[in-house]
Amino acid sequence: MDSIVRLSTLKISNIKNVRNGQIIMPNTYRKQPGYKKAEVLGVYGQNGSGKTAVIDTLYYLQSIMMGNVLEEEIADYIDVNSNQAEIIADFHIFSGTANYETSYKIVIQRSEKGVEIARETLSCAVNKGDSRSNKTVFMDYQRLDRENLFTPKKRLEEVLEANIENKTDLIVARKIAEKSNCSYIFGESSREIFCRDYNNKFAYYSEVIKALFKFAVKDLFVICNTHSGVISANFLLLMAFKMEQGEVGMKGDFAVPLTEPVVLSEERRNLLDAIIEQINMVLFTIIPGMRIGIHDYGMQLTDSGESGYRVELVSIRENMPPVPIRMESEGIIKIISILNALIQAFGSPSICLAIDELDAGIFEYMLGELLDIFNTSAKGQLIFTSHNLRALEMLDKESIMFSTANPDRRYIHMKNVKQSNNLRDTYLRGITLGGQDEIIYEETDSLKIARAFRKAGRMIRHG
C-alpha cells in the first residue's frame, strides 16, 4: 500500500512572537497513533498571541520539504531578538506492516543574503509488530561542517556502498543546495540520490524521505491569510484543489479573477470543470439551493496565441438567473475557495489541511456543523485557527489548544476539563478567573480603552 503520513506534533522556536511553542495532534495527545479516523485541531487565543505562526510555519515547512528555494521573507519571521529560528515536525509514517516515528528538524538563520538553512536532521524509529527500534538520527546536515557530507558516517557509508559514484553526486548536490538556498535533504539533486533503491539498511531511511516528500507535494494543504486576503479584497477567487492524475496528480490554487472574465486554455478549462463538479457535489448541502456554474463567452486567443475559452464563474440559485460569483458574500466565496481541499481531507487519511482564520465570514452555526461532521465522519487531518468559539462546544478538549501570554510556552491544552464540561465556558472562565498553567489572556482595561478613544477623538476634532 502507499504510505500514509500523519503530522503528530509541531514545535516552533523564535518564529514571529513565539519563542517556544508546540502543538500536539489529538491522536498523539491521547497516545493512540493511527490513521483510521479524522483528527481536528483548533488553535484559539487573543489577537497577536501566535495562532497564525502555526499556519505560517506549516506553509514554509511544506515549501522546504518540497525542495523549493527558501523564500526571502522568511527572514522577517525570525524573532527580532534572535539570529535563528527552529522548526521540529514529528510524523507517523504508516507503510505496510511498519510504522515509522520520524522527526524532521530544521534550523534557519539570518545571513548576508537574507536567510539560509544552517542545519537539518532526520530521526527515525521503526515499529514493526511488537518490536521498536531506538529513535536515532540517520541524517544530520550542518552547513558549517565542511568535512562531512552528512553524519552519521554509518548512514553515509550505506549510501556510498550502493554506488561509488554517489559520493561525487552528493558533493555536487550539496553545492547546488547551498548555492540555490534550498534543503540539502529534500533538494531535487540530493533527494534523487537518497530515494534510489537500496538493498541495505538505508532502504528504510530512503522510504522515509520518499514518504515525507510525497506528503509535502501531494497531501499537505496550507491556506494562509494571504489566501483569504485576496478574497476580502474582491480581487481573486483562489480555489485550493487536488486532482488524482498519475502518481502525483495535480494540486495547488486555481486562481479565477472576480473582477472580469478570464481566458483559459483547453487544459485549464477542463481542470476548472472538474474542480467545479467536485465543489457542487457538496456546496448545495451547505448553502441550500446554490451551485456554481461557468458562463462561457466564447473562444478567444490566449496571451500565447493559442485558442482559449473566455469564461466567468457564476452563482446559480433556484428560480433565479445566474449572477457573477463576485456578487456573493465573502463568507460564501471563502467556503467555495476551501471546499475542494475540505473534500479531499474528508475522504483521504493521508491529507493534512491547515487553514488560518477558518471562521472568517462563515456563519457561526454552520462552522460548528462543519467541524462536527468532519470530526465524526472524515478520515484526514484538519488544523485551523479561529476566533469564533462555537468550535469549543463541538469538539473534544484534545482537539483544542489555546495560545497563551507566555512567549516561552505559547500553546497549552485546557486543564481541569471534565467530559461533561462546556469547553467554551471553561475558556471564558479561565480568561476572567485564571486557574490554568499559563495566562491565556493578557488583560485589557475597558476604562482605559474608552479613555484612549475619547482622547483620540478630541485630537481629531481639534486638529
pLDDT > 80? residue 462: no
Q: Which of 88, 109, 75, 103 is nearest to 20 (CA)?
A: 88
Contact (Cβ atoms closer than 8 angstroms) between residue 400 and residue 60: no
C-alpha cell at 205: 531511511
Convert the pLDDT of each residue in 64-119 to its tens digit.
Answer: 999 999 998 999 999 988 999 999 999 999 988 788 999 999 999 998 878 999 99
pTM for this structure? Answer: 0.90
Q: Which of 83-97, 128-142, 219-233 is predicted most confidently?
A: 83-97
Contact (Cβ atoms closer than 8 angstroms) between residue 381 and residue 345: yes
Q: What's the Cα-to-Cα distance from 133 to each of 4, 100, 125, 126, rounded to whole Å?
A: 20, 10, 5, 5
Q: Which of 35, 4, 7, 37 is nearest to 23 (CA)?
A: 7
Q: Residue 377: CA atoms inside 13 Å, Cβ hemisphere, count? A: 10
Convert the pLDDT of each residue in 59-78 to its tens digit.
Answer: 999 999 999 999 989 999 99
Q: What is the DSSP letter of 349?
A: T
C-alpha cell at 143: 552547513
Q: What is the pLDDT of residue 214?
A: 94
Q: Which of 408, 372, 364 is nearest to 389 (CA)?
A: 364
Q: Which of 181, 190, 173, 179 is nearest to 69 (CA)?
A: 181
Q: What whole-number distance in Å separates Cα of residue 355 and Cα of residue 55? A: 7
Q: What whole-number distance in Å separates Cα of residue 84 and Cα of residue 63? A: 18
Contact (Cβ atoms closer than 8 angstroms) between residue 124 and residue 205: yes
- If phi over 0 gives left and psi between -120 and 50 gives alpha, with beta otherwise, what is residue 420? alpha
